[in-house]
Amino acid sequence: MQPLLIQNTLTGEKEAFKPLHAPHVGMYVCGPTVYSNVHLGNVRTFLTFDIVFRYLTFIGYQVRYVRNITDVGHLTDDGDQGEDKVAKKARLENLEPMEVVQRYTNDFHDVMRVFNILPPSIEPSATGHIVEQIEMIKAILDRGYAYESQGSVYFDVRKFAADYPYGELSGRKIDELISATRALDGQDEKRDGLDFALWKKADETHLMHWPSPWSEGFPGWHLECSVMSTKYLGERFDIHGGGMDLKFPHHECEIAQNVGANGEARPVNYWMHGNMLTVNGRKMAKSEGNGFTPEELITGNHQLLERGYSPMVVRFFMLGGHYGSTLDFSNEALQAAEKGYDRMMQAVAGLAGLTPSDAPGEVDIDAWRRRCFDAMNDDFNTPKLIATLFEGVKWANSAKAGQLALDAAQCALMQRTFSEFAFHVMGLDGEGMPDTAAAGGDNALTPQLLDLLVQLRSDAKTSKDWGTADAIRNALSELGITIQDSKDGSTWNIE
């Protein structure tokens, strides 16, 4: 097994990854709240953990990857006046709440598919686990870390903090939090401003509600993740992921709930947080109005976008930065990524048709391959991996130009390495490659027709009929097909 290091946000250290029950790994990632379309920032987080999932699987772990769908329970405001986001949307759009949920769940799945983000092993929904959530509230009540108040149940943070560490993950201190919550009034149900809801009593206008021992109501904001991670991964599991902005209060509350319910002191061994996608240095968020949807990105139909970009280019762009750093979006950066991506795909395609040298190879492909592993083993460092792969791109191109010797074994190992790291681990789908581009076209005859045209042009070149040769090249160019000449003949490429 590869010696993998993971930046653990719980400890702040980069630690050697040791699963509780190797080769099995349990991973939980906070999924989307399905009350609106996902934007590109959301996509980045799910991409981050897609890479984690893919790489762990690639190096031989059997991963149970749980990613939830939040379809109830997030309040729009703090305090008692809060309204469920799903219910609010339903009211605004005049829909059944579950209709809203279904619509945006479908949208989410579509987006994930477009970006080649793999589905998780289990995708549980909050509304499907109301019974379990009620059970966990009972357990927390039984252990004395929650109290009922007018039909609602709140987590007693101070009581909990007296027995267990609270704020460990986010580096918060209880006393500092107190002063920060001074502005929140009108919360007379709570004993303390720090307390958070486990169960909320629903008023008459609330659309989504369930019976419980305390009231007809709905579960609190953070409870579902505690419940579903425990149910499918156990009271203690390996990796919990999510966006940086969920660290506090969401993940802190999750830990408190888990510990409060069963006393297991360390429910999660490795906490991982993906950083934000920014636009002009600011976090992309719905409330900022600077977010765009994947569809807008692809079509280019948004004021921030000069034109559209393909999903794989966007994927490649995002992997060009480390998940733990903020990544700034710009048209310039996207266009640079697009060129780099195309160049890599071309080189990989060229590798397949390369004639190996009889002479022994001149570069150390084994060492290069090892450095690919090293990059990923260093906390999933995809930018480093990409840089390493580009060294291979250069060699492949040099070999094709007859300037570098690569023997048969080396060619094979390079192809295998690109296949594994570029396509398998990074999940690029090779859409820019001639074969697949043509296969994805409308007509299976396309490659043959193009081969024919290229052959005609080559014949014209041989007879020095430059007019015909250039006419064919120009005509194809207008159709978005480029012709590349080399010593071994000409090749075509769509787009």
Partner RNA sequence: GGUCCGAUGGCCGAGUGGCUAGGCUCAGCUCUGCAAAAGCUGCUACAGCGGUUCGAAUCCGCUUCGGACCUCCA
Q: Are 136 and 227 in contact (CB under 8 A)?
A: yes
User: Least separation, in Å, of the C-beta of 44 and RNA?
Assistant: 4
Considering the complex, state which of residue 192 and residue 431 has its C-beta at the smaller distance from RNA: 192
Considering the complex, state which of residue 262 and residue 310 has its C-beta at the smaller distance from RNA: 310
Q: Omega before 434 cis (within 30°)?
A: no
Assign 52 to helix, strand or coil: helix
Considering the complex, state which of residue 247 and residue 424 has its C-beta at the smaller distance from RNA: 247
Give the DSSP H or E segment for 308: none
DSSP string, 108-157: HHHHHHHTTPPPPSB--BGGGGHHHHHHHHHHHHHTTSEEEETTEEEE-H
Closest CA to 137 of 128, 147, 127: 147
User: Least separation, in Å, of the C-beta of 205 and RNA?
Assistant: 19
User: Least separation, in Å, of the C-beta of 66 and RNA?
Assistant: 15
CA distance 424 to 55: 8
User: Least separation, in Å, of the C-beta of 39 and RNA?
Assistant: 7
User: Least separation, in Å, of the C-beta of 217 and RNA?
Assistant: 17
User: Least separation, in Å, of the C-beta of 122 and RNA?
Assistant: 18
User: Least separation, in Å, of the C-beta of 305 and RNA?
Assistant: 16
User: Least separation, in Å, of the C-beta of 42 and RNA?
Assistant: 4
Give the amino acid at 146.
Answer: A
Considering the complex, state which of residue 326 and residue 419 has its C-beta at the smaller distance from RNA: 326
CA distance 135 to 133: 5
Considering the complex, state which of residue 184 and residue 445 has its C-beta at the smaller distance from RNA: 184
What are the Cα distances from residue 420, in Å, to 69, 104, 110, 182? 30, 33, 25, 53
Closest CA to 66 of 135, 128, 143, 137: 128
What are the Cα distances from residue 335, in Å, to 186, 290, 297, 330, 433? 50, 19, 13, 9, 18
CA distance 452 to 305: 38
User: Least separation, in Å, of the C-beta of 483 and RNA?
Assistant: 6
Considering the complex, state which of residue 46 and residue 232 has its C-beta at the smaller distance from RNA: 46
Alpha helices in 287-355 (DSSP H): 294-299, 311-319, 331-352
What are the Cα distances from residue 208, in Å, to 73, 90, 108, 227? 9, 10, 22, 19
Considering the complex, state which of residue 153 and residue 284 has its C-beta at the smaller distance from RNA: 284
CA distance 39 to 220: 25
User: Least separation, in Å, of the C-beta of 152 and RNA?
Assistant: 15
User: Least separation, in Å, of the C-beta of 330 and RNA?
Assistant: 6
**Token pair in block for residue 138:** 């009972």
Considering the complex, state which of residue 216 and residue 328 has its C-beta at the smaller distance from RNA: 328
Q: Omega before 119 cis (within 30°)?
A: no
Considering the complex, state which of residue 185 and residue 442 has its C-beta at the smaller distance from RNA: 185
Considering the complex, state which of residue 175 and residue 204 has its C-beta at the smaller distance from RNA: 175
Burial degree of 182 (CB within 10 A; 0-12, 13-18, 19+): exposed
Considering the complex, state which of residue 217 and residue 243 has its C-beta at the smaller distance from RNA: 243
Q: Are 319 and 426 in contact (CB under 8 A)?
A: yes
CA distance 343 to 449: 24
CA distance 82 to 5: 41
User: Least separation, in Å, of the C-beta of 481 and RNA?
Assistant: 12
Considering the complex, state which of residue 77 and residue 358 has its C-beta at the smaller distance from RNA: 77
Q: Are 73 and 35 in contact (CB under 8 A)?
A: no
